Structures are given as structure tokens and as C-alpha cells.
Amino acid sequence: MRLTINRPELIKGLGMVAKAIPNKTVLPILVNVKMTLNEKGLVLLASDNDFVIQTIVPYMIIDKQIISNSKPGSTLVNYKYFSEVIRRLEGENVTLEVIDSIILRIDDGKSNFKLNCINPDEYPDISLDMIGNIFDMKTSDLVELVESTAFASSTKEGRPVLTAINFEARENVLTTTATDTARLARKRIDLDSNVTFSVNILAKKFVDIVHSFENEEMVTIAISDKKAIFAFGFTTISIRLINIDYPNTRNIVPKSFNYTLEVSAKEFLAAMDRVAILSSEHDGVVKLVMSEDEVEIMSRSLSVGSANEKINTCMFNGERLEVSFKSAFVADAIKALKCEDITIAFVGEMKPFVVKNVKDATIDMLITPLRAQ
């Protein structure tokens, strides 16, 4: 393999596959990036076994020559050292050449490096074929689905399925759901395709890569029984599914409420943030005390002291009500709603309550209250 390539474009490609390079692995071969020069361009491939990213640096971008003096071939080279060398070179273009299948020579006309490389046949076989349920959607919609729900997934490994986002498609609607059992976030978006599936994708992995999609208008998605594949621009990403049944949460959100609080999102967040300072020993639990005359947030710590703050820009409907909750859970929900005013709707003191944007019925935020400390 030999080629001269535009260094900034190579850096972009290496940056794209970086998230699939494992920090620790039982397969040492996976610390390498696989590079293949073919008729499409320089194909970069990285994987940590559960997560695969492939991107292509093309020969031309519009009318700009990116790759020249080329000879097809393939190699494996340690990602860390290769990427560091490429980033620190100063030349606009860099020449890569594999010598005797064991040395990768890197030359920008000023600096010259020789890195050990490996036979590409030693890399695991990876298929990125688009099979199963295949459909297209706007990348902005996919980003919104993930951002609106991923925060509610569990970070504990005890129940692996709860570390995932559930993607369910039926009747031209794609719904994402995440829950750690103490809270739930759900978002729905209409689809042009009538596909049907329910799969679980690891939330942390998805959050790591979802913003890679944003420079493309559309993404093609293929859902099979073992993996989800996302193709956009010159990049393809594959994520292994968590094949465990997701908890049935379809009817968990209450449909009617006895109390509602309409409040400025900004004011409520700020007040809650201040009051929660004194509740750190109780995991940020605060109490919301509401009546038609007054709405107040408070916290108390036997070792530190107490705090309370009145909410001015609000309207409460219902009899007097006191509800305690983890402030971070409500803050996360409000931030995900991305609106100026929110409504918090309650069934009762110890019943799960809903934080919502009344102008957007496609999103649900459910939070379980706590007993007062």
C-alpha cells in the first residue's frame, strides 16, 4: 500500500474512528486501526468488539485532490502512535507506504517515521452489511431522540438492559425510552417508513457517537437481530445490541393528575440548584411545598443547616401538596425538554410525577418521589 494524502483530512478520519479504539481489551489486535486503500479511498476501521466505526477518506472532495500517487493495499498499525505522529507533523500532505508488510513509513517531506505494522488478515472479520429493517431519517431527529432520553438510563451494571436506550418502531413512529427504575424519559418521532422492531442500544456508546452524525442531513439505519448500523456520509457505525427484553413501560405514565405546577424552567432550575447545596449528604434531595398561595423549595441537613426559596413565577392548581425528590433527576428532565416554561403534574404525594412541555406531546419525563429526609 502506498499513497500521498491530505493530512487534515486524514486527521478528520482518524478522529472519527477514535471512539471505537478500546482503552482496555482482551484482544490486543484491537488497539490497531485497519487501513485499506481501495477504489473508494482510504478506508479506516476500528472496533472494540461491541462497537465498530468505519470511515472513508475519498480521493476527491468536490474539486480538491485528497489522495494521489496511490497503490492499493491494507495494513494494521497501532492507533495511538500513528494518530499522534500524524497530528504532530507539519506538512499539508503526508506519504504513507507499507514496506515488506511489516513497516509503515510516514513522510511529510520534513519528518520521517517508521512504525511497525501487522498483517491485516489477523484482524477480526467484520461485516457492515445493511440487513434487517432498513430506513432513513433526519440526523437531527435521531440526535433529539437520544438527547431526550439517554440521561435517564442506568449507570449500574447490575441490570444491563437498563444501561440501554430502547428503540421501538411501529405504525410509522419511532420511540426511544430510557429508565433506571427511579425515572423514565421517552421521546417519539414520526417515521416515513413502516418498520417494526424493538431493540436495546447501550446508552453510553450512543451518546459518545451521536454528534458525529450532525454534519449530515440524513442517516440510513439498519436494525437486525444482533446489531444496529448507522450510515451517513462516508461513515458507517455498528453497535451490538443488548438482547434482553426491555421492561414494559408503555402504560407507566399517568394520564390524569390532581395537581399541576406551571413554572418558569429557568427560575425553577436556579432555585433548586441553590437549595440543593445543603442536601449533598442526602444525594441532593429537596422538598417542594405547594399551595395556591405559595410555592417553596427547601432542604435540610442536620449537620449543615437548612435552606428555602420561594418561587415567584408560577401557578399551582390543587390542594396543598408536599413532594420530595432528587433534584438532579428533575434538573435533567427540565434541561432535556428545552423549553422556557414547564408543567409539573402530580397524582399524589408518593406517586410518580411528570415534568412536561405542554407544547410538545411527544416527550414524557416521569420521576419517582422520595420520602422526606
Express each pLDDT in 289-314 by its tens digit.
Answer: 999 999 999 998 878 888 999 998 89
215: confidence class by pLDDT, cuts 50, 70, 90: confident
Give how far the C-alpha of residue 318 lies from the chain's centroid of Cα atoms, to the nearest Å: 38
Average pLDDT, the chain: 94
C-alpha cell at 8: 487534515
Which of 263, 294, 285 lies closest to 367, judged by CA? 285
Phi, psi of 331 (to 5 degrees): -60, -45
Average confidence (pLDDT) over 331-352: 96
Q: Contact 150/206 with Cβ under 8 angstroms?
A: yes
> At residue 279, does pLDDT exceed 90?
no
Q: Evaluate if residue 32 carries a pLDDT over 80.
A: yes
**pLDDT confidence bin for 42, thresholds 50/70/90:** very high
**Grid cell in block for residue 247:** 421492561
d(CA 200, CA 38): 34
pLDDT for residue 102:
95
**What is the structure's pLDDT at 40?**
97
pLDDT of 337 reads: 96
Query: Which pLDDT score is estimated for 331?
Result: 97
Contact indicator for 131, 224 with CB cutoff of 8 Å:
yes
Alpha carbon 103 to chain centroid distance? 37
Q: Are 136 and 220 in contact (CB under 8 A)?
A: yes
Q: For residue 42, which of 95, 5, 91, 79 has the smallest C-alpha distance?
A: 5
Tell me how far apart the alpha carbons of residues 220 and 240 are, in angstroms, rounded to a whole number: 17
All three cell numbers of 54: 468505519
Q: Which pLDDT score, from 0 to 100, does residue 372 have?
A: 66
Q: What is the CA angle 154-278-353, rounded to 5? A: 45
| Dist. CA 270–CA 71, nearest whole Å | 60
pTM for the whole thing? 0.90
Proportion of the chain above pLDDT 70, given as a percent: 99
Instruction: Answer left, alpha or beta for residue 336, where phi above 0 means left and psi between -120 and 50 means alpha.
Output: alpha
Residue 373's pLDDT is what?
A: 56
pLDDT bin (cut points 50, 70, 90) of residue 281 is low
Report how far Cα 47 is from the mean position of its chain's Cα atoms. Answer: 17
What pLDDT sits at residue 158?
Answer: 82
Handedness of CA 32, 64, 7, 51 (dihedral sign): negative
Q: What is the DSSP string of 255-286?
A: S--SEEEEEEHHHHHHHHHHHGGGGGGGTTEE
Decide the pairing of beta strands 93-99 and 73-78: unpaired
Q: Is 90 exceeded by the pLDDT of residue 212?
A: no
Q: Which three cell numbers stand for residue 62?
A: 468536490
**Residue whose C-alpha is closest to residue 47's, from 130, 131, 126:** 126
Q: What is the DSSP letter of 245?
A: P
Tell me: pLDDT of 288 over 60: yes
Average pLDDT of the segment spanning 257-278: 95
296 close to 263: Cβ distance less than 8 angstroms: no
130 confidence band (pLDDT: 50, 70, 90): very high
pLDDT higher than 70, residue 142: yes
The least confident of 20-24, 89-93, 229-233 is: 20-24
